[in-house]
Structure 1
Amino acid sequence: MSSVQTKSDVILIGAGIMSATMGSLLKELAPEWKIKVFEKLNSAGKESSNEWNNAGTGHAALCELNYTTEKPDGTIDCTKAINVNEQFQVSKQYWSYLVEQKRISNAGDFIMPIPHMSMVQGEKNVDFLKKRLEALSTNPLFQGMAFSDDPDVLRQWMPLMMEGRDRNEAIAASKIDGGTDVNFGALTRMLFNHLTGQKGVQINYRHSVEDFTRTKDGLWEVKVRNEERNTIEYHQAKFVFIGGGGGSLPLLQKTGIKESKNIGGFPVSGLFLSCKNKEVVERHHAKVYGKAKVGAPPMSVPHLDTRYMNGEKALLFGPFAGFSPKFLKAGSNLDLMGSVKPSNVFTMLAAGAKEIPLTKYLISQVMLSHEKRMNDLREFVPTAKSEDWEVVVAGQRVQVIKDTEMGGKGTLQFGTEVVTAEDGSIAALLGASPGASTAVQVMIEIFKRCFPEQIADWEPKLKEMVPSYGLMLSDHPELFDEIKEKTDRVLGLTVAEQNQAVQ
């Protein structure tokens, strides 16, 4: 049995942070548009956006060392770090707009102030961290970042991590108080709760997208299975956004657009150690990122994170990589095999030949015992006790594989990838970090590509929601100070509230 539904302006696939962000933005920019959302699970934010399925870091390159690289001449390339920070500032501006306009309430339920630190060991890494801070300190976005290799200072910054260490160990850290912990699961649910009450918005849970067809009049017809009724439905729209996390790649391939060719994906599951001892949890208050070990991929950067979830403070360490052929936690073991098509088989084979070190790394990670994971943790917390920590399974990430000019055929991409059809009628989001943190900027870029006729009319509203729209805050320090003061105040991220959170 099947039914044909009425036409919509926009169809959003997946009820995660990306679709939530796009849907909420579009209702501000084009409130008369009709939007339909299809999610295969029974509620929003259950996969990659869920708070237990990601690190919850507001990615602004304040502590993530993989966003800065050392060039052969010894200088530090800060380009990616600055770009990521700029994009996170855009997200903060939009979130504060939503709070001010009462679209969402109680910012403390999804964002909390937390110091961000980078910690390194060994003289070479200490020198790198010092040069990194010197390079970043010239940019207004990184004001207030401090460096120390003094054991007494480090003991004040991170007492749990310094306990039991040799005072002669070469160790250093950078620290900035302007970091955040973001519960993207809570934010996703807030945004969908707001959208649920909006005119012209229909959110459909337990609906799985099965196929796409382009109609003669240029619309996309989406074949959807209603899982509760076990019926097939057909929904048409002018624009489709595929924001299904790891499940986006197979759906993109079903569209048949030329931009979907020569793209593959490799799933990587994540594991964290979660501390069960509340006394230990209370002794640490920061997100501390280290440096990936030699030969390990950027996604393996170890970090010890203070988290806030459901009103409770938690402490997690990781990530540890695992392997599953599923593209989603709720996916199928046939996902990886099914994603290999004639158009991408050589891309996938080339990646397999190139990424032998990654394969070895994943195998070694899968084989780790609890005690070996604890040994990795003890590089951060020397006094960690095995009985205080347990394994938590995080979300699935599908790393994008594509052919690039620089990397050649089958190059593994670490980051967020946006794929749009040439005519702008469909867009898909692939990849992983820093995705959620930069969701607002990602959506704005999609609007520019896919709605070129509307973007000029939307600019006044975009500037209302994101005052820095069209500008680089790095080039406008006074504007940055003004915007930061306001967004931090509205979102409850002021220094006074940070100190209160510590207490």
Structure 2
Amino acid sequence: MIKSKNILLYETDVLVVGSGIMGATLASILKEIEPSLRVDIVEALNAPALESSHAYNNAGTGHAGYCELNYTPLLANNRIDIKKAVQINAGFEMSLQYWSFLAKKYRLFSPEKFINRVPHISLVNGSKNVAYLKKRYLALKDNPLFKTIEFSSNFRTIGKWIPLLGVKRSSKKYAATKVECGTDVNFGEITCQLISILKTKRNFHLYTNHKVLDINEHKDGLWSIKLNGHKEIRAKFIFIASGGHSLKLLQKAKIYEQTSYAGFPVNGQWLICKNPSIVAMHQTKVYGKAKIGSPPMSIPHLDLRIINGEKILMFGPFASFTFKFLISGSFFDFISSVRFHNLKTLYIVFLKEWSLFIYLIKQNFKTHKGRMADLKLFYPEANSKDWYLENAGIRVQIMKKSKKDGPRLEFGTEIIFSKRNNLAALLGASPGASISVKSMIEVIEKCLINKKKKGVWESAIRKMIPSYGIDLVKNPTLLKKIRSDNQKTLGI
């Protein structure tokens, strides 16, 4: 018996730290596969989905690789690499399938409250960028996942796609691609609906206002999680999904796999417009190209958002440096995350990315006039009186060692697993929420699938996600059937 001064609540099979879209998705899938499994969530705030998953703290884009140009880089051999876009698109298809499954099974799960069809557009100008976009279009159009993509370099056609851009002939060369079946997603609403369903099940509990103070592993592989109020939970498996705070919790767990990892916090802000006459003119999500030296998360885009039934426009995000890892965090977060083992990583990455660091510092001092100038590249007639600034979420980009390039800054989503596979943690940013189902299936396969019931578990997953284990690119007939079913069930 392990002695503890804390009040032991109980022992659980799976403890999720953080009640955002990732944690709620993992808990939901597990309870669908194995209802008897004890699954619990602890949340430091007083309600779920208040940080990264909150509607105003992310772009709400159903990331499918349709319009995000950073997912299709131009290689040194002058070819477009579409691998990442294809992976993300297939991952988003898994999310749509799971949401469709839940919509058919539960009245509590209401797609009309969280997902809407909003076309996805990529927009560029200048000869070099136009040539890149045309090359990207040609690389994608024959892939079954992207076969509905359209391309135009005709300014009048582009003006019809993006009315705010104007229909007058421009001296600049423009090009755009469009995918009609893009989506706007309220991931905060999905999270709340998932938790509402979980609360109807046995062997599940959500503990709000419970902050994790320490995490310790015992020799038998069991974890002790100390919480505020001198409380403690013991768990066979822990999944850390606390947004930017995940890195600090990993450090508390002291697993070897987090050695040399560090965090680079980036703050975001949006320009928001609620003028009905302007909102009515823009029915798409329009993504441009990031400025040289700026991080991928600062790729400018002008989005139609539908949040709690209200249509608004968001432009941004405007990235800047912060010392906080969460909106609700502390200005000491970054400093307190520095360890002896990640000092070299921090030092080398800051040397490599010094220009980026300076760029982010400068962004802290950007004026409303400067932000409006960026917006006018998408909407030339924008009036500053119609737009106001709103804080978005904080993303902690990963800094880690690389065998090939040494310490470097990573942009994307990554899951770290402990050696015993009794702990996993989510780090990074986009495309995160959009591929939440794919990511959580990966956690289940690596850490939680019952070897004696492997076939039963895989069969259960396949009933929820028909494309599970299947390459949709090689199965266009199945892809067509799945997409048709998803669009009908989800109303998109």
TM-score normalised according to structure 1 size: 0.95
1:278 offset after TM fit, Å?
1.7
Cα pair 1:11 1:36 within 8 Å, conserved: yes
1:109-145 superposed Cα distances (whole Å, 9 cap, x missing partner): 0110010000000011111111111110110101211
Output one character per residue of 1:365-414: Cα deviation in whole Å (capped at 9) or x when no partner: 111100001000001110001111000100110001000123212x1010
SS of the residue 1:438 aligns to? helix
1:32 to 22, 36, 39: 36
- C-alpha separation between the residues in 2 aligned to 1:393 and 1:262? 31
Verify the 8 A CA contact 2:156 2:169 in the aligned structure 1. no
Q: Supply the AA of the counterpart residue of 1:309.
A: I
Whether contact under 8 Å (1:276, 1:390) holds in the other structure is: no
Structure 2: distance between partners of 1:19 and 1:363: 32
- What letter corresponds to residue 492 of structure 1 in structure 2? G
Aligned to 2:470: 471
Letter of the aligned partner of 2:209 in structure 1?
Answer: R
Are residue 451 (structure 1) and residue 454 (structure 2) matched?
no
- Structure 1: runs of 5+ lacking an equivalent: 226-230, 494-503
Partner letter of residue 70 of structure 1? L
Distance 2:427 2:480 in 1: 33
Aligned partner (choices 347, 350, 374) of residue 348 of structure 2: 350
What secondary structure does 1:7 align onto?
A: strand
Structure 1 counterpart of 2:378: 380
Q: From 184, 188, 198, give the equivalent of 2:191.
A: 188
Q: Which amino acid aligns with 1:129?
A: L
Give the 3-state SS of the residue equivalent to 2:433 in structure 1.
helix
The one-letter code of the counterpart of 2:477 is E
Partner of 1:228: none
1:293 maps to what in 2?
291
Match of 1:280 among 272, 278, 281: 278
1:323-402 map, 5 Å: 323-402=321-400
What SS does the corresponding residue of 1:288 show, helix, strand or coil?
Answer: strand
Contact 1:8 1:236 in 2 (8 A): yes
Q: Give the CA deviation at 1:285.
A: 0.5
Q: Which amino acid aligns with 1:213?
A: N
Name the structure 1 match of 2:134: 130
Q: Provide the residue aligned with 2:175 in structure 1.
A: 172
Q: Distance in 2 between matches of 1:39 and 1:72?
A: 45
Within-5 A mapping of 1:68-217 = 68-102=72-106, 104-163=108-167, 166-217=169-220
Matched, 1:219 2:222: yes
Return the offset for 1:272.
0.7
In the other structure, the counterpart of 1:415 is 412
Q: Kindly provide the amino acid, as one letter, of the partner of residue 175 in structure 1.
A: K
* Deviation (angstroms), 1:106: 2.1
In the alignment, what sits opposite 1:499? none
User: Secondary structure of the residue that 2:341 maps to in structure 1?
Assistant: coil
Moved over 4 A (4+): none
Identity %: 44
Equivalent residue letter for 2:225: V
Task: Note if contact 1:103-1:194 (Cα within 8 Å) is conserved in structure 2.
Answer: no
Q: Which residue of 1 aligns with 2:57?
A: 53
Alpha-carbon distance change, 202 to 405 in structure 1, aligned in 2, over 3 angstroms: same
How far is 1:19 from its partner?
A: 0.6
C-alpha deviations, 1:74-119, integer Å up to 9, x for none?
Answer: 2211011101101000111001001011164320101100100000
Q: What residue is the counterpart of 2:23 in the other structure?
A: 19
**TM-superposed deviation, 1:455:** 4.0
Q: Give the structure 1 partner of residue 266 of structure 2.
A: 268
SS state at 1:408 partner: coil
Aligned length: 486
SS in structure 1 opposite 2:55? coil
| Offset, 1:166 | 4.2
Q: Where do 1:474-493 residues align within 5 Å? A: 474-493=473-492
Cα-to-partner distance string for 1:22-69 (whole Å, 9 max, x where unaligned): 000000111101112100100010000000000000000000011001
- Opposite residue 135 of structure 2, the aligned amino acid is K
Amino acid corresponding to residue 175 of structure 2 in structure 1: A
d(CA) in 2 for partners of 1:30 and 1:62? 35
Aligned to 1:241: 239
In angstroms, what is the RMSD of aligned CA positions? Answer: 1.2
Q: SS of 1:52's equivalent?
A: helix
Contact 1:447 1:455 in 2 (8 A): no
What is the CA–CA distance in structure 1 between the aligned matches of 2:194 and 2:110, rounded to whole Å?
12
* 1:434-454 Cα distance to aligned partner (Å, 9 max, x none): 000000000111112112525
TM-score of the superposed pair, with normalisation by structure 2: 0.97
Task: Please give the alpha-carbon distance, in whole angstroms, between the structure 2 residues aligned to 1:105 and 1:319.
Answer: 30
What CA distance in whole angstroms lies between the structure 2 residues aligned with 1:295 and 1:327? Answer: 22
Cα offset, 1:364, TM superposition: 2.0
Contact 2:6–2:226 under 8 Å retained in 1 = no
Does the 8 Å contact 1:399/1:431 carry over to 2?
Answer: yes
CA distance in 1, matches of 2:404, 2:43: 36
Q: What is the alpha-carbon distance in structure 2 between the residues aligned to residue 75 and residue 347 of structure 1?
A: 31
Task: Identify unmatched segments of 5+ residues in structure 2.
Answer: none
- SS of the aligned residue for 1:69 comes to coil
SS in 2 for 1:429: strand
- Alpha-carbon distance in 2 for matches of 1:96, 1:83: 20
One-letter amino acid of the counterpart of residue 9, structure 2: Q
Q: 1:428 aligns to what?
A: 425
Q: 1:143, 1:184 → 2: CA distance?
A: 27
SS in 1 for 2:176: strand
Kindly indicate whether the alpha-carbon contact (under 8 Å) linking 2:274 and 2:311 is maintained by their aligned counterparts in 1: no
Q: After TM superposition, give the deviation of residue 72 of structure 1 in Å.
A: 2.2
Give, as a single letter, the amino acid of the residue that structure 2 aligns with 1:191.
L
Q: CA deviation at 1:215?
A: 2.3
Aligned partners of 1:388 and 1:441: how far apart in 2? Answer: 39
Maintained 8 Å contact 1:50/1:184:
yes
Using the TM superposition, give the Cα deviation of residue 155 of structure 1 relative to its aligned residue in structure 2, in angstroms. 1.7
Shift of 1:309: 0.3
* C-alpha distance in structure 1 between counterparts of 2:203 and 2:297, whole Å: 39
- Report how far residue 216 of structure 1 moved: 3.5
Q: 1:271-308 CA deviation, whole Å, 9 max, x = no partner?
A: 11001322111110000000112222222211000000
Residue 363 of structure 1: how far off its partner (Å): 1.6
